[in-house]
Amino acid sequence: MQVKIRPATPEDVPVLFDLICALAEYEHLSHLVTGSAELLQQHLFGPEAFASALLAEVGGQAVGFALYFRNFSTFLTRPGIYLEDLFVLPEFRGRGIGKALLARVAQEAVAKGYGRLEWMVLDWNQPAIEFYRRLGAKPHPEWILHRVVGAELEALARLAEDPYPS
């Protein structure tokens, strides 16, 4: 089995979005997919690219992806990479494809002199947790993810207009 890992191109956006939807289905989060291939195209390949993506192909078929973006560590005072998603279609797992995708993201971080590579894993996804542990990743349970979206995000943004109401 020949696996090819390559950067995604604008022409790959439809298949990449299909893989994102497959990931959401696997994670039981399809109801949270409110984006579109058009928005993905804009944010990956538009004038202000926010993220990068790699595709894994077997026999010309896209079977997995890694989507990531640059972040920054104030303690290291160096950039890093945040891996937003790593996914391989279930029928192609166990063949080293996820490892190859993650290794390519790590290779980019090292080549650019970045200080770290990090990501989140759903607490129920034991196969992923074990996969990452085998590759040397260590969980940080003392850190709790916080998020504001939708109406809460808009309400928080409005506080900037008058942060100290009387």
Active site residues: 132
DSSP character string of 18-52? HHHHHHHHHTT-GGG----HHHHHHHHHSSS---E
The tokens describing 26, both together, are 């696997």
Conformation bin of residue 94: beta by default, left when phi > 0, alpha when psi is -120 to 50: left
Chain centroid, CA 117 distance in Å: 11
3-state secondary structure of 66: strand
